[in-house]
Chains A and B, each alone.
Chain A
Amino acid sequence: MKRVCIAAAALILASALAAETFPEGGVEAYIDAVDAAILPVNCKARMAIVDTYETGDDRSSEGFLIRKDNRVVWVATAPASQKNFALLRDEDTFYQRFASTNKVVKTSATASSRGGETSNLDLTRFNTNHDYSVSYLGTEEIAGKSCYAFELKAKNRKLAYGLVKLWVDKATRMHVKKAFYAVSGMMLKYYDVTAVEMAAGKARSISMTYVDALKSDETSELRIYDITALSSVPGQFFTKEYLESGRLYPYSF
């Protein structure tokens, strides 16, 4: 019994020490800064996705997104058959608008409305602290870069992955790798950041490759580019009614 108590105390102490030893202050604030460096809280950006399968077949799509904190609307611009398809994330609720009609229905975070390796959540998850409880694990070298490693635990069951590990480049505060795990601890997929274009400490574009951990030949190349901060974005953009009305999201790209 004594040994168990000592072990438990040691564990608590170790985890407390680990949290305290994060060298750049509060973990949560740091993660917010990392998120903002990639995609500002109010912004617009374009997105291109190429899904490649183990058969060699591939499929591509393009779109743009508008973000207001934890609310995101993603609108497809290609292929032509998917033009005007839209995905809306309003906090933890997801809606989709069909390409051919203005009908808007609720969809789930875990579904992949556009197909491929990227779920609805992957396309709209830009606020890490909102979705996950983050803890610092230590430093690691990934792809030749000195990184901070973090463990992310989902705050609610709507999220696609219960456990995520994130590696952030110490020098640039950019993601280097992110791995997604099932509840059982098995890795389901990960992404490697393959290219980042920076301007004034902020990302102008970022490219990442999602890999299915169970089928490594199945990948999704996701590129977010023309990232532009906006001074304000109307909250109405992120309502079901706005999406249903068939109004455009008239930002130039």
Chain B
Amino acid sequence: MKRHAFAAAALIAAAALCAAQDSDAAAPDSGAAASGFALSGSLSGEASYSMENEDSVFYGLAPFAETSALGVIDGKLSFSKNYRALGLLDFRFIDSAIIDPEDGSTIESPSFLINELYADLNLGDALFFRLGKQRLSWGAGYVLNPSDPINPPKDPTSSRSPREGVPAIKAELIGEAVSLMAFSVPHEKLAEFGYGGKLSTSALPNSDIALSAYWSPGQSWTAALNASFSPFYDFPGWDTIQLWLEGGAYDEARYGSAGEGANYAALAGFSAQLPVLRTMLMAEYYFLSEGLSASESAALYRAPGPETYALALRPGRVAKDYLFASIRQSSITDSGNPILDKIGLSGSCLVNLQDGSLYASGGISLGFVDDASIDLGADCFAGDRESEFGNIPTQISLRLSMTVFY
């Protein structure tokens, strides 16, 4: 709540700054925009059914099998004043209704989440200030960002998890060869404020490299490296191959409670698009020094306690290492076929390499109406009684959703 209040206060302060700017002097030339708002986003409705995992140690603790309906409005409202001042409100409104399996009644819970709410000022086309709730863009990894000390960690088993930012003030010096970012994240006490910076460059051919660091007296320090390469960028047909590495060292266990003292996490990824077929392939491997070995997690599942229950809340961040793979076909064909051009397919898999358990997800997307889609999806968790994904409370989930973009 305090953070939302901070973000709102920051926005008001920044908006006042924007208003104080001389509009004519701010414009770089005759092409600059006047003040204005723009809105984009999507509305979606989803129905889902989840089957309970009867082999899970969590079985019986709560009714995990459920039939639910979900309405989601995602929106981005952007504001620009002349050229120098911008603002953004990125929000998500969700109204979920779960049908009680015993009496058929519905339990409804609406929620409103502000992912980002900030104001942005541009000084001389080189120095940019941003104040408010914001995602500090970080990390090359798709399913995990070990270099990111700030933003809420991603959930590799949920594609719909919100991309929520944090209240922060950021100054960014963007150069054509090197960029420098400095930021501060407020906490309740001034002495606990966190401070960080990032140095990034694309100066080396076919590569993007960033070094970053963060320190907070009340939390932890992080030092990190991000690097992505396109080793065959000069060779048509092979130029979609990309490799990336992301690593971070930090002094407190971030994902669980197992690691004491300094920890580290590393991720390596690969992606490519198959020529002609246009199929996107991606794979990521990541290692968490604070993660549990198969025998350590099995011991927790054999004798469930509070630590065991905590494991279910952070899927994909329990073990020492994981492998993620995904395949995506945005449309089966791209040749004007009235059916196959409108059908997209996707599949992904996350394997706990310690205990061999896995999470798999598949989906089909139908886009027969302009600016709208119907999506069918299924998630499945599999593994034995002493494994991570074998103990996820829901075993299979089926989803049907419709989305309209605006």
Asked if B32 and A252 sit within 8 Å, CB to CB, the answer is yes
Asked if A79 and B137 sit within 8 Å, CB to CB, the answer is no
Asked if A236 and B31 sit within 8 Å, CB to CB, the answer is no
**B361 close to chain A: CB less than 8 A:** no
In the complex, what residue of chain B is closest to A234 when comparing beta carbons? B125
Pairs across A and B, CB under 8 Å, 5 listed: A105-B271, A106-B208, A106-B228, A108-B239, A238-B176
Asked if B172 and A80 sit within 8 Å, CB to CB, the answer is no
Asked if B86 and A248 sit within 8 Å, CB to CB, the answer is yes
Residue of A57, A240, A251 touching B32 (CB-CB under 8 A) = A251
Asked if B240 and A239 sit within 8 Å, CB to CB, the answer is no
- B residues 269-284 near A (Cβ < 8 Å) are 271, 273
Asked if B32 and A111 sit within 8 Å, CB to CB, the answer is no
Asked if A106 and B29 sit within 8 Å, CB to CB, the answer is no
In the complex, what residue of chain B is closest to A108 when comparing beta carbons? B239
**A231 close to chain B: CB less than 8 A:** yes
Residues of the B chain whose Cβ atoms lie less than 8 Å from the Cβ of A115: 331, 334
Residue from A80, A238, A246 having most chain B Cβ neighbours under 10 A: A246
Give A residues with C-beta under 8 Å from B. 44, 51-58, 79-81, 83-84, 90, 93, 101-102, 105-112, 115-116, 156-158, 160, 218, 228, 230-236, 238-242, 244-248, 250-252
- B residues 188-236 near A (Cβ < 8 Å) are 200, 202, 206, 208, 228, 230, 233-236
Known: A53-B341, A55-B338, A79-B371. 9 other contacts (CB 8 A): A52-B336, A79-B370, A83-B40, A106-B242, A157-B234, A230-B30, A239-B176, A240-B202, A250-B86
**B10 close to chain A: CB less than 8 A:** no
CA distance A239 to B178 in the complex (A): 10
What's the least CB distance linking A92 to chain B, in Å? 9
The 4 closest A-B pairs by CB, nearest first: A53-B336, A234-B125, A108-B239, A80-B405
Residues of the A chain whose Cβ atoms lie less than 8 Å from the Cβ of B371: 79-81
* Given A53-B336, A57-B341, A247-B120, A239 contacting B233 (CB threshold 8 A): no
Q: Chain A interface mostly helix, strand, loop or mixed?
A: loop
Residue of B28, B83, B239 touching A109 (CB-CB under 8 A) = B239
A-B contacts at CB below 8 angstroms, number:
142
- B residues 73-95 near A (Cβ < 8 Å) are 76, 78, 80, 82-83, 86, 88
CA distance A234 to B122 in the complex (A): 11
**B59 close to chain A: CB less than 8 A:** no
CA distance A56 to B228 in the complex (A): 41
Asked if A102 and B135 sit within 8 Å, CB to CB, the answer is yes
**Chain B contact residues (Cβ within 8 angstroms of A): what range?**
35 or more
Residues of the B chain whose Cβ atoms lie less than 8 Å from the Cβ of A158: 233-234, 236, 239
**B163 close to chain A: CB less than 8 A:** yes
Asked if A232 and B29 sit within 8 Å, CB to CB, the answer is yes
* Given A84-B40, A239-B179, A240-B208, A251 contacting B236 (CB threshold 8 A): no
CA distance A222 to B233 in the complex (A): 27
What's the least CB distance linking A115 to chain B, in Å? 6
* Given A231-B29, A248-B86, A252-B34, A218 contacting B336 (CB threshold 8 A): yes
CA distance A57 to B342 in the complex (A): 11
Proximity string of chain B (235-265) to chain A, C-beta cutoff 8 Å, 1 when within and 0 when not: 1110110100000000000000000000000
In the complex, what residue of chain B is closest to A231 when comparing beta carbons? B29
Residues of the A chain whose Cβ atoms lie less than 8 Å from the Cβ of B83: 250
Residue of A56, A57, A241 touching B172 (CB-CB under 8 A) = A241
Residues of the B chain whose Cβ atoms lie less than 8 Å from the Cβ of A110: 236-237, 239
**B174 close to chain A: CB less than 8 A:** yes
Asked if A57 and B338 sit within 8 Å, CB to CB, the answer is yes
**B128 close to chain A: CB less than 8 A:** yes
* Given A81-B371, A158-B234, A247 contacting B240 (CB threshold 8 A): no
CA distance A230 to B125 in the complex (A): 15
**B335 close to chain A: CB less than 8 A:** yes
Residues of the A chain whose Cβ atoms lie less than 8 Å from the Cβ of B174: 236, 239, 241-242, 245
Proximity string of chain B (23-45) to chain A, C-beta cutoff 8 Å, 1 when within and 0 when not: 00000111111100010101000
Residues of the B chain whose Cβ atoms lie less than 8 Å from the Cβ of A235: 125, 176
CA distance A230 to B338 in the complex (A): 42
**B337 close to chain A: CB less than 8 A:** yes
Residue of A52, A218, A244, A250 touching B33 (CB-CB under 8 A) = A250
Residues of the B chain whose Cβ atoms lie less than 8 Å from the Cβ of A93: 202, 206, 233
**B299 close to chain A: CB less than 8 A:** no
What's the least CB distance linking B26 to chain A, in Å? 10
Residues of the B chain whose Cβ atoms lie less than 8 Å from the Cβ of A250: 32-33, 80, 82-83, 86
Asked if A101 and B235 sit within 8 Å, CB to CB, the answer is no
Asked if A111 and B273 sit within 8 Å, CB to CB, the answer is yes
What's the least CB distance linking A48 to chain B, in Å? 15
Asked if B239 and A245 sit within 8 Å, CB to CB, the answer is no
Asked if B338 and A81 sit within 8 Å, CB to CB, the answer is no
CA distance A143 to B337 in the complex (A): 32
In the complex, what residue of chain B is closest to A240 when comparing beta carbons? B202
- B residues 100-151 near A (Cβ < 8 Å) are 120, 122, 125-126, 128, 130, 135, 137
In the complex, what residue of chain A is closest to B29 when comparing beta carbons? A231
**B289 close to chain A: CB less than 8 A:** no
Residue of B33, B38, B206, B341 touching A251 (CB-CB under 8 A) = B33
**B309 close to chain A: CB less than 8 A:** no
Residues of the A chain whose Cβ atoms lie less than 8 Å from the Cβ of B370: 79
